[in-house]
Structure 1
Amino acid sequence: MSTDGQPHILAIGGGTLVPDDRYGMSPSPLMRYALDLTGQDRPRICFLTTALGDGNEYIARFYAAFSRLDAEVSHLALFPMPNVADVRSHLLAQDLIYVSGGSVANLLALWRLHGVDEVMREAWHEGVVLSGQSAGALCWHVGGNTDSYGPQLRPLTDGLGFLPYSCGVHYDSDTQRRPLLQQLVGEGTLPGGYAADERVGLHYVGTEFVQAVSYGDGAHAYRIEPDGSGAAKETVIDPRRLASL
Protein backbone atom coordinates (compact mmCIF):
# COMPACT_ATOMS: atom_id res chain seq x y z
CA MET A 1 0.00 0.00 0.00
CA SER A 2 1.11 3.56 -0.51
CA THR A 3 3.11 4.84 2.45
CA ASP A 4 1.49 8.29 2.27
CA GLY A 5 -1.94 6.75 2.92
CA GLN A 6 -3.40 8.42 -0.16
CA PRO A 7 -5.37 6.58 -2.88
CA HIS A 8 -3.32 6.58 -6.09
CA ILE A 9 -4.30 5.59 -9.64
CA LEU A 10 -1.90 5.51 -12.58
CA ALA A 11 -3.86 5.17 -15.84
CA ILE A 12 -1.54 4.29 -18.72
CA GLY A 13 -2.37 5.11 -22.33
CA GLY A 14 0.04 2.47 -23.61
CA GLY A 15 3.58 1.27 -23.09
CA THR A 16 3.60 -0.58 -19.76
CA LEU A 17 5.98 -3.17 -21.20
CA VAL A 18 8.84 -2.61 -23.63
CA PRO A 19 10.56 -5.14 -25.93
CA ASP A 20 13.66 -6.73 -24.50
CA ASP A 21 16.01 -8.84 -26.62
CA ARG A 22 16.89 -11.08 -23.69
CA TYR A 23 13.62 -11.37 -21.78
CA GLY A 24 11.01 -10.70 -24.49
CA MET A 25 9.21 -7.91 -22.58
CA SER A 26 10.31 -5.84 -19.60
CA PRO A 27 8.52 -3.29 -17.40
CA SER A 28 8.79 0.24 -18.77
CA PRO A 29 9.59 3.31 -16.64
CA LEU A 30 5.82 3.76 -16.23
CA MET A 31 5.52 0.45 -14.41
CA ARG A 32 8.47 1.32 -12.23
CA TYR A 33 6.84 4.67 -11.43
CA ALA A 34 3.68 2.83 -10.32
CA LEU A 35 5.87 0.59 -8.17
CA ASP A 36 7.53 3.62 -6.57
CA LEU A 37 4.11 4.99 -5.58
CA THR A 38 3.76 2.12 -3.11
CA GLY A 39 6.80 3.29 -1.17
CA GLN A 40 7.66 -0.34 -0.42
CA ASP A 41 11.11 -1.91 -0.84
CA ARG A 42 9.62 -5.17 -2.09
CA PRO A 43 5.99 -4.46 -2.94
CA ARG A 44 3.30 -7.05 -3.46
CA ILE A 45 1.90 -6.82 -6.99
CA CYS A 46 -1.21 -8.58 -8.22
CA PHE A 47 -2.02 -8.39 -11.91
CA LEU A 48 -5.35 -9.15 -13.59
CA THR A 49 -5.80 -10.21 -17.20
CA THR A 50 -9.60 -10.39 -17.07
CA ALA A 51 -9.80 -8.18 -20.17
CA LEU A 52 -7.79 -10.80 -22.07
CA GLY A 53 -9.90 -13.74 -20.90
CA ASP A 54 -7.20 -14.89 -18.45
CA GLY A 55 -5.37 -16.76 -21.20
CA ASN A 56 -2.43 -18.79 -19.95
CA GLU A 57 -0.13 -17.19 -22.54
CA TYR A 58 -0.89 -13.69 -21.27
CA ILE A 59 -0.52 -14.67 -17.63
CA ALA A 60 2.85 -16.28 -18.35
CA ARG A 61 3.97 -13.18 -20.28
CA PHE A 62 3.21 -10.88 -17.35
CA TYR A 63 4.94 -13.17 -14.87
CA ALA A 64 8.02 -13.21 -17.11
CA ALA A 65 8.05 -9.42 -17.40
CA PHE A 66 7.27 -8.63 -13.76
CA SER A 67 9.91 -11.11 -12.58
CA ARG A 68 12.40 -8.39 -13.55
CA LEU A 69 11.06 -6.28 -10.68
CA ASP A 70 12.07 -6.58 -7.05
CA ALA A 71 8.54 -7.49 -6.05
CA GLU A 72 6.32 -10.30 -4.86
CA VAL A 73 4.11 -11.05 -7.86
CA SER A 74 0.76 -12.85 -8.00
CA HIS A 75 -2.28 -12.81 -10.27
CA LEU A 76 -6.04 -12.98 -9.96
CA ALA A 77 -7.87 -14.97 -12.64
CA LEU A 78 -11.64 -15.35 -12.88
CA PHE A 79 -11.68 -18.09 -15.57
CA PRO A 80 -12.86 -20.79 -15.15
CA MET A 81 -13.28 -19.82 -11.50
CA PRO A 82 -11.34 -17.50 -9.18
CA ASN A 83 -7.85 -18.89 -8.64
CA VAL A 84 -7.66 -17.67 -5.03
CA ALA A 85 -9.87 -18.79 -2.16
CA ASP A 86 -10.75 -15.25 -1.00
CA VAL A 87 -10.64 -12.57 -3.70
CA ARG A 88 -11.20 -9.71 -1.28
CA SER A 89 -8.45 -10.73 1.13
CA HIS A 90 -6.02 -11.32 -1.70
CA LEU A 91 -6.56 -7.92 -3.32
CA LEU A 92 -6.55 -5.99 -0.05
CA ALA A 93 -3.20 -7.58 0.85
CA GLN A 94 -1.51 -6.02 -2.20
CA ASP A 95 0.57 -2.85 -2.53
CA LEU A 96 -0.12 -2.49 -6.26
CA ILE A 97 -2.85 -3.91 -8.49
CA TYR A 98 -2.18 -3.83 -12.23
CA VAL A 99 -4.90 -4.42 -14.86
CA SER A 100 -4.03 -5.40 -18.42
CA GLY A 101 -5.53 -4.11 -21.65
CA GLY A 102 -8.10 -6.00 -23.69
CA SER A 103 -11.89 -5.77 -23.63
CA VAL A 104 -12.97 -3.23 -21.01
CA ALA A 105 -16.64 -4.16 -21.56
CA ASN A 106 -15.97 -7.81 -20.71
CA LEU A 107 -13.75 -6.79 -17.79
CA LEU A 108 -16.50 -4.66 -16.25
CA ALA A 109 -19.13 -7.35 -16.71
CA LEU A 110 -16.99 -10.06 -15.08
CA TRP A 111 -15.81 -7.85 -12.24
CA ARG A 112 -19.39 -6.88 -11.40
CA LEU A 113 -20.53 -10.49 -11.57
CA HIS A 114 -17.84 -11.55 -9.07
CA GLY A 115 -17.96 -8.42 -6.91
CA VAL A 116 -14.42 -7.42 -7.88
CA ASP A 117 -15.59 -3.87 -8.64
CA GLU A 118 -16.50 -3.22 -5.01
CA VAL A 119 -13.33 -4.86 -3.73
CA MET A 120 -11.30 -2.61 -6.04
CA ARG A 121 -13.02 0.45 -4.59
CA GLU A 122 -12.25 -0.75 -1.07
CA ALA A 123 -8.62 -1.46 -1.98
CA TRP A 124 -8.28 2.01 -3.49
CA HIS A 125 -9.64 3.66 -0.36
CA GLU A 126 -7.30 1.53 1.75
CA GLY A 127 -4.27 2.86 -0.14
CA VAL A 128 -3.57 0.02 -2.58
CA VAL A 129 -2.13 1.65 -5.72
CA LEU A 130 -4.29 0.92 -8.78
CA SER A 131 -2.83 0.93 -12.27
CA GLY A 132 -3.42 -0.46 -15.73
CA GLN A 133 -3.11 0.11 -19.44
CA SER A 134 -5.83 0.72 -22.03
CA ALA A 135 -8.83 -1.23 -20.66
CA GLY A 136 -6.97 -1.22 -17.35
CA ALA A 137 -6.83 2.59 -17.52
CA LEU A 138 -10.36 3.24 -18.82
CA CYS A 139 -12.05 1.10 -16.18
CA TRP A 140 -11.36 3.48 -13.27
CA HIS A 141 -13.05 6.41 -15.06
CA VAL A 142 -16.66 7.21 -15.96
CA GLY A 143 -15.96 6.09 -19.51
CA GLY A 144 -14.25 6.71 -22.81
CA ASN A 145 -14.29 4.90 -26.11
CA THR A 146 -13.52 1.27 -26.78
CA ASP A 147 -13.03 -1.40 -29.43
CA SER A 148 -14.61 -4.00 -27.12
CA TYR A 149 -17.52 -4.38 -29.56
CA GLY A 150 -15.55 -4.41 -32.80
CA PRO A 151 -12.98 -2.45 -34.82
CA GLN A 152 -15.26 0.58 -35.04
CA LEU A 153 -14.92 2.37 -31.71
CA ARG A 154 -18.02 2.87 -29.60
CA PRO A 155 -18.74 4.88 -26.45
CA LEU A 156 -18.18 3.36 -23.03
CA THR A 157 -20.28 5.15 -20.39
CA ASP A 158 -20.50 2.64 -17.52
CA GLY A 159 -16.96 2.58 -16.13
CA LEU A 160 -16.38 2.12 -12.41
CA GLY A 161 -16.41 5.88 -11.92
CA PHE A 162 -13.79 6.01 -9.17
CA LEU A 163 -12.48 9.00 -11.16
CA PRO A 164 -15.25 11.41 -12.29
CA TYR A 165 -13.74 11.95 -15.74
CA SER A 166 -13.66 10.52 -19.22
CA CYS A 167 -10.43 8.88 -20.34
CA GLY A 168 -8.70 8.52 -23.67
CA VAL A 169 -6.01 5.88 -24.32
CA HIS A 170 -3.76 5.15 -27.32
CA TYR A 171 -4.48 8.76 -28.19
CA ASP A 172 -1.70 9.18 -30.75
CA SER A 173 -1.72 5.66 -32.22
CA ASP A 174 -5.40 5.04 -33.06
CA THR A 175 -6.87 7.67 -35.36
CA GLN A 176 -10.44 7.01 -34.16
CA ARG A 177 -9.72 7.83 -30.52
CA ARG A 178 -9.28 11.62 -30.51
CA PRO A 179 -12.27 12.72 -32.63
CA LEU A 180 -14.70 10.33 -30.94
CA LEU A 181 -13.67 11.32 -27.42
CA GLN A 182 -13.97 15.00 -28.31
CA GLN A 183 -17.41 14.38 -29.82
CA LEU A 184 -18.62 12.47 -26.75
CA VAL A 185 -17.38 15.15 -24.36
CA GLY A 186 -18.67 17.99 -26.51
CA GLU A 187 -22.20 16.60 -26.75
CA GLY A 188 -22.30 15.68 -23.06
CA THR A 189 -22.37 11.89 -23.44
CA LEU A 190 -19.20 11.83 -21.33
CA PRO A 191 -17.82 14.31 -18.82
CA GLY A 192 -14.64 16.21 -19.46
CA GLY A 193 -11.50 14.29 -18.73
CA TYR A 194 -7.97 13.36 -19.69
CA ALA A 195 -6.27 11.44 -22.47
CA ALA A 196 -2.84 9.85 -22.82
CA ASP A 197 -0.61 9.09 -25.78
CA GLU A 198 1.42 5.91 -25.92
CA ARG A 199 4.18 5.91 -23.26
CA VAL A 200 2.17 8.28 -21.02
CA GLY A 201 0.56 7.69 -17.63
CA LEU A 202 -2.08 9.83 -15.91
CA HIS A 203 -1.45 10.05 -12.16
CA TYR A 204 -4.36 10.77 -9.84
CA VAL A 205 -4.27 11.20 -6.06
CA GLY A 206 -7.76 10.63 -4.76
CA THR A 207 -9.90 12.02 -7.58
CA GLU A 208 -7.49 14.83 -8.43
CA PHE A 209 -5.28 14.67 -11.51
CA VAL A 210 -1.80 15.65 -10.29
CA GLN A 211 0.52 15.04 -13.25
CA ALA A 212 1.27 13.12 -16.40
CA VAL A 213 4.46 11.07 -16.66
CA SER A 214 6.14 9.70 -19.75
CA TYR A 215 9.24 8.10 -21.22
CA GLY A 216 10.54 8.80 -24.70
CA ASP A 217 10.10 11.90 -26.82
CA GLY A 218 7.03 13.57 -28.26
CA ALA A 219 4.34 11.96 -26.07
CA HIS A 220 1.74 14.07 -24.30
CA ALA A 221 -1.36 14.03 -22.13
CA TYR A 222 -4.46 16.14 -22.77
CA ARG A 223 -7.29 17.79 -20.91
CA ILE A 224 -10.58 17.55 -22.84
CA GLU A 225 -13.45 19.82 -21.80
CA PRO A 226 -16.78 20.85 -23.36
CA ASP A 227 -16.59 24.33 -24.88
CA GLY A 228 -20.30 25.12 -24.42
CA SER A 229 -21.13 24.99 -28.11
CA GLY A 230 -21.53 21.24 -28.50
CA ALA A 231 -17.83 20.71 -29.23
CA ALA A 232 -14.78 20.14 -27.03
CA LYS A 233 -11.55 21.98 -26.44
CA GLU A 234 -8.29 20.14 -25.94
CA THR A 235 -5.36 21.41 -23.87
CA VAL A 236 -1.96 19.76 -24.18
CA ILE A 237 -0.30 18.70 -20.92
CA ASP A 238 3.47 18.27 -21.00
CA PRO A 239 4.33 15.16 -18.98
CA ARG A 240 7.12 14.77 -16.49
CA ARG A 241 9.89 12.83 -18.22
CA LEU A 242 10.90 9.62 -16.46
CA ALA A 243 14.43 8.30 -16.56
CA SER A 244 15.03 5.53 -19.08
CA LEU A 245 15.87 2.06 -17.83
Structure 2
Amino acid sequence: MFEIKFVFFLKQRVIPFIHQKSRSSFYCGKLSPLLSLGLIYGSCTPHYDGELNRRPNFHSLIKNGQLPPGIGIDDGAAVLFEGQKIVEVVASRPQAKAYKVKLNNEEIVEEPISARYLGQ
Protein backbone atom coordinates (compact mmCIF):
# COMPACT_ATOMS: atom_id res chain seq x y z
CA MET A 1 0.00 0.00 0.00
CA PHE A 2 1.26 3.50 -0.72
CA GLU A 3 0.55 6.83 0.92
CA ILE A 4 -0.63 9.87 -0.95
CA LYS A 5 0.68 13.14 0.40
CA PHE A 6 -0.06 16.55 -1.01
CA VAL A 7 1.20 19.97 -0.07
CA PHE A 8 -0.86 22.94 -1.20
CA PHE A 9 0.67 26.34 -1.05
CA LEU A 10 1.16 29.71 -2.62
CA LYS A 11 -0.83 30.65 -5.67
CA GLN A 12 -2.27 28.10 -8.09
CA ARG A 13 -0.57 24.92 -6.89
CA VAL A 14 -3.83 24.10 -5.15
CA ILE A 15 -5.96 23.85 -8.28
CA PRO A 16 -5.41 20.32 -9.62
CA PHE A 17 -6.09 18.35 -6.46
CA ILE A 18 -8.88 19.91 -4.42
CA HIS A 19 -12.43 18.96 -5.50
CA GLN A 20 -13.42 22.58 -6.05
CA LYS A 21 -11.40 25.73 -5.71
CA SER A 22 -12.44 29.33 -5.95
CA ARG A 23 -10.80 31.43 -8.58
CA SER A 24 -10.80 35.10 -9.40
CA SER A 25 -12.64 36.31 -12.43
CA PHE A 26 -10.68 38.98 -14.22
CA TYR A 27 -13.88 40.42 -15.65
CA CYS A 28 -15.98 41.03 -12.56
CA GLY A 29 -13.48 40.86 -9.69
CA LYS A 30 -15.45 38.08 -7.96
CA LEU A 31 -14.58 34.49 -7.19
CA SER A 32 -16.20 31.63 -9.05
CA PRO A 33 -15.99 27.84 -8.65
CA LEU A 34 -13.39 25.90 -10.61
CA LEU A 35 -13.62 22.11 -10.93
CA SER A 36 -10.43 20.10 -10.44
CA LEU A 37 -9.27 16.48 -10.17
CA GLY A 38 -11.08 15.97 -6.89
CA LEU A 39 -8.42 13.94 -5.07
CA ILE A 40 -9.26 15.80 -1.87
CA TYR A 41 -12.89 16.62 -1.10
CA GLY A 42 -13.85 20.21 -0.37
CA SER A 43 -13.05 23.65 -1.64
CA CYS A 44 -9.98 25.78 -1.28
CA THR A 45 -8.81 29.30 -1.93
CA PRO A 46 -5.31 30.79 -1.74
CA HIS A 47 -4.62 34.47 -0.94
CA TYR A 48 -7.09 34.27 1.94
CA ASP A 49 -5.47 37.23 3.67
CA GLY A 50 -3.83 38.74 0.59
CA GLU A 51 -6.74 40.02 -1.46
CA LEU A 52 -9.35 42.38 -0.08
CA ASN A 53 -12.48 40.53 -1.27
CA ARG A 54 -11.13 36.97 -1.26
CA ARG A 55 -12.36 35.99 2.24
CA PRO A 56 -15.90 37.46 1.99
CA ASN A 57 -16.38 36.08 -1.54
CA PHE A 58 -15.24 32.59 -0.44
CA HIS A 59 -17.67 32.81 2.51
CA SER A 60 -20.48 33.79 0.15
CA LEU A 61 -19.83 30.87 -2.23
CA ILE A 62 -19.93 28.41 0.65
CA LYS A 63 -22.97 30.03 2.25
CA ASN A 64 -25.02 29.95 -0.96
CA GLY A 65 -24.02 26.35 -1.76
CA GLN A 66 -21.85 27.03 -4.80
CA LEU A 67 -18.82 25.56 -2.98
CA PRO A 68 -18.62 22.87 -0.29
CA PRO A 69 -16.88 23.67 3.01
CA GLY A 70 -13.16 24.12 2.53
CA ILE A 71 -9.83 25.66 3.39
CA GLY A 72 -8.70 29.28 3.16
CA ILE A 73 -4.92 29.53 2.84
CA ASP A 74 -3.09 32.76 3.70
CA ASP A 75 -0.31 34.01 1.46
CA GLY A 76 2.90 32.30 2.52
CA ALA A 77 1.18 29.23 4.02
CA ALA A 78 1.22 25.61 2.86
CA VAL A 79 -1.12 22.77 3.85
CA LEU A 80 0.10 19.17 4.00
CA PHE A 81 -2.53 16.47 3.46
CA GLU A 82 -2.19 12.74 3.91
CA GLY A 83 -5.17 11.29 2.12
CA GLN A 84 -8.13 13.47 3.18
CA LYS A 85 -6.57 14.58 6.48
CA ILE A 86 -4.73 17.83 7.13
CA VAL A 87 -1.46 16.85 8.79
CA GLU A 88 0.27 20.21 9.12
CA VAL A 89 0.29 23.82 8.02
CA VAL A 90 3.66 25.50 7.51
CA ALA A 91 4.39 29.13 6.71
CA SER A 92 7.11 31.35 5.32
CA ARG A 93 5.52 34.34 7.10
CA PRO A 94 5.19 34.42 10.91
CA GLN A 95 1.43 35.20 11.00
CA ALA A 96 0.35 33.10 8.00
CA LYS A 97 -2.03 30.20 8.64
CA ALA A 98 -4.93 28.32 7.10
CA TYR A 99 -8.60 28.14 8.10
CA LYS A 100 -11.23 25.45 7.91
CA VAL A 101 -14.29 27.28 6.59
CA LYS A 102 -17.75 25.76 6.97
CA LEU A 103 -21.41 26.58 7.38
CA ASN A 104 -23.03 26.09 10.80
CA ASN A 105 -26.68 27.09 11.31
CA GLU A 106 -26.62 29.27 8.19
CA GLU A 107 -23.52 31.16 9.44
CA ILE A 108 -19.94 30.86 8.24
CA VAL A 109 -17.54 29.52 10.85
CA GLU A 110 -13.76 29.76 10.51
CA GLU A 111 -11.51 27.45 12.48
CA PRO A 112 -7.91 28.72 12.37
CA ILE A 113 -5.21 26.10 11.86
CA SER A 114 -1.94 27.28 13.38
CA ALA A 115 1.12 27.03 11.19
CA ARG A 116 4.68 26.06 11.97
CA TYR A 117 6.82 29.03 10.95
CA LEU A 118 9.74 27.91 8.81
CA GLY A 119 11.80 31.04 9.42
CA GLN A 120 14.01 31.87 12.34
Q: TM-score, normalised by structure 1?
A: 0.45
Q: Counterpart amino acid of 1:11?
A: F
Distance 1:159 1:135 in 2: 12
- Corresponding position: 1:208 with 2:85: yes
Q: How many residues align?
A: 120
Q: Report how far residue 151 of structure 1 moved.
A: 5.7
Distance 1:232 1:194 in 2: 12
Name the structure 2 match of 1:186. Answer: 63
Aligned pairs (5 A) from 1:113-124: none
Name the structure 2 match of 1:233. Answer: 109
- Alignment counterpart, residue 2 of structure 2, candidates 1, 5, 16: 5
User: Of Structure 1 and Structure 2, which has the larger fraction of its residues in strand?
Assistant: 2
Query: Which digits, 9 at most, give the CA deviation of each residue in 1:196-226, with x for residues without a partner?
Result: 1111001101121112111221111101011
| Structure of larger gyration radius | 1
Distance 1:148 1:136, change over 3 A: farther
Unaligned regions of 5+ residues in structure 1, if any?
15-133
Distance 2:38 2:56 in 1: 22
User: Of Structure 1 and Structure 2, which has the larger fraction of its residues in helix?
Assistant: 1
Q: Counterpart amino acid of 2:33?
A: L
Identity of aligned residues (%): 22
Query: Which digits, 9 at most, give the CA deviation of each residue in 1:121-175, with x for residues without a partner?
Result: xxxxxxxxxxxxx222133112232125436123124122111011010111111
Q: Report how far residue 243 of structure 1 moved.
A: 4.1
Q: Would the aligned equivalents of 1:221 and 1:236 in 2 still touch at CA under 8 Å?
A: yes
Runs (4+) off by over 6 Å: none
